[in-house]
Amino acid sequence: MAPSSGGAREGESAPASAEPRSPGRGYSRSEERNAATRAALEPLRQGERPRAVTLGAVAAFLIAVANLIAYAAGLEVGGQRPAVTFVLAQSGLLLIAAWGMWLVRYWAVLGMQAMLAILIVIFAVLLVVANNVLAALISVAMIAAAGTLFWFLVKAMARIQMPERR
């Protein structure tokens, strides 16, 4: 029986090129960078709140309050008022995220990142269909702001979930 190309006969070892990569070779540089990054992170001290988490909490609170004020003032979107349940659900979700981030809870930061990711996608779609320069500039500004906050929350999340060093 003839061996298939690149294969080994029964009882013979496979050629060296067919061996799976060992952890010491193929990805060792990226794993070394990851380990160095993890080693450089400092766990949060008692009562410490990273700036990005504080900024996210304040932003979520202000947006929730602004939504409620705008609805109470009778603001219309696209010529009609949004449903009260939508406004209350959206504002409630933002207030819960703000409270959780103020208390430096991992779940709250993760939830805020999910909301930011959805916001980025929505404004990216709006950028594609923008029919004037102002709409395009607003979309780019929102993508930049949400993306920046998202980026800084990643490191904050890593510090929040770190175990204490001894």
Residue 156, token pair as written in the block: 């904050």
Least Cα distance to 102 among 66, 61, 65 occurs for 61
- CA atoms in the 13 A half-sphere facing the CB of 79: 0
Q: What is the predicted pLDDT for the residue at 127?
A: 96
Please choose, from the candidates 65, 117, 73, 124, the residue with its C-alpha nearest in 3D space to the C-alpha of residue 95. Answer: 65
Contact yes or no for 95/56 (Cβ under 8 A): no
Q: Count CA within 13 A, CB hemisphere, residue 68.
A: 12
Task: Report the alpha-carbon distance of residue 56 to residue 34 in Å, rounded.
Answer: 26
Q: What is the predicted pLDDT for the residue at 7?
A: 47
In a structure prediction context, what are the per-residue pLDDT tens digits for the chain, which is 166 residues long? 544 444 445 555 545 545 455 555 556 777 777 677 667 677 777 878 899 999 999 999 999 999 999 999 998 888 899 999 999 999 999 999 999 999 999 999 999 999 999 999 999 999 999 999 999 999 999 999 999 999 999 988 888 876 554 4
Q: What is the pLDDT of residue 22?
A: 53
Does the global pTM surpass 0.75?
no
pLDDT of residue 163: 59
Contact 61, 98 (CB under 8 A): yes
pLDDT of residue 54: 95
Q: Which residues pair with 77 in a beta bridge?
A: 80
Q: Which two tokens stand for residue 70?
A: 């705008």
Distance CA 76, CA 85 (A): 15
SS3 string of 12-49?
A: CCCCHHHCCCCCCCCCHHHHHHHHHHHHHCCCCCCCCC
